[in-house]
Every structure is written in structure tokens, then in C-alpha cells.
Amino acid sequence: MSEQDWVLAEYIVIKALENGVTIMGLTRGKDTKFHHTEKLDRGEVMIAQFTEHTSAIKVRGKAEILTKHGRLRTDE
């Protein structure tokens, strides 16, 4: 996949509904590992993307997540 294809890849939006929401990026490949962690406070928003290095995103804490597949809340 070219660099331009990755730039145009799917994004998700994560909005923290409480302080201390943790977002973790997990790697692709034979062994899945955490490669990046962010903390958000209530009201903060992060826009994340699946890339050649990121195959999964884990959200811990109360948050609203928007994707092309719809909207969900971690506390529901």
C-alpha cells in the first residue's frame, strides 16, 4: 500500500466522557504489542487511524467512539 493510501485510510474519533481515558494502539504482525498510549481528559477528542503499523485500537474508560460503521459508547 502506498503512503497516499495510508493517508486516506479509515479514521476513528474518540471523545473522552471522563478524565483519564486511555487509548492504546496495537501493532500488526506475528506478535501483537502495544506501540502507543495516550490519555485523554473529559471533553478531549483524538482522531486515530489504522495504518501499516496499527491493526487495533483499545479504549479504556468512558468514551464515545465514532467510525464509518456508527457511534458507540464504552459504558453501554
Say if residues 14 and 24 touch (Cβ distance below 8 Å): no
Query: Starting from the edge strand earliest in sequence, which strands make up the sheet with 45-49, in order?
Result: 45-49, 11-16, 63-67, 70-73
Band the pLDDT of 6: cuts 50, 70, 90: low
Contact 19, 36 (CB under 8 A): no
In whole angstroms, give the CA distance from residue 13 to residue 5.
19
The top-level CATH class assigned to 3-73 is: mainly beta
pLDDT in the model for residue 76: 56
- Each residue's pLDDT tens digit, 23-70: 998 877 777 777 788 999 999 999 988 777 777 888 999 999 999 899
